[in-house]
Structure 1
Amino acid sequence: MAERTALCQASSLEVGAMARFEVAGEDPLLLINDGGEFRLIDDDCTHAIASLSEGRLEGGVIFCPLHGGSFDIRTGKARSLPCKQTLRTHKVSVKDGVVYYEG
């Protein structure tokens, strides 16, 4: 059975903002408020050890701060080199104003 973990109040993450979370048993995760929809992806770049939470978000694309490669935040798919491997995406839900990781 999937475990539900509270991440934050939905109102604490403005549209276009992102926040890094550490959940027991998981690699670091990155929560993004994508126009009111919450996206949860792995925080570690698949190309090199870098935290995407320190990167740049432009629309639905996040850019790695180390080499500038990018990923689609909705699918996790690598969008530009040097990134080639897809990021894992994770299920989230919002209930009573709280964003949950459904892991």
Structure 2
Amino acid sequence: MRTILQVDFPYEGPFGDEMASAMAELAESIAREPGFVWKIWTENRDHCEAGGIYLFEDESSARAYLEKHTARLKEFGVPKVNGKVFQVNEQLSAIDHGPV
């Protein structure tokens, strides 16, 4: 069953175009993760947060990625990573034009 992973963490920047430039290589590596379908990158400059909403083919891929990404973020000095895993209700999401 397709699975959503929601991740957020404290982030001091850069944001916007600078973030896009700084994170392009990371984005390319994420696109090659097993079971990965897509990611929406999120940022909130006012609250110094960043993260993403990911779609994976299955829960095990999402959980494996969360473990890997949490370790990577901690290596970058991020003190706390919030991650939640949700199963997708594809029938209801289709009604509301969800890209699943």
Same fold (TM over 0.5): no
Structure ranking higher in strand proportion: 1
Query: What TM-score, normalized to structure 2?
Result: 0.30
Larger CA Rg, structure 1 vs 2: 2
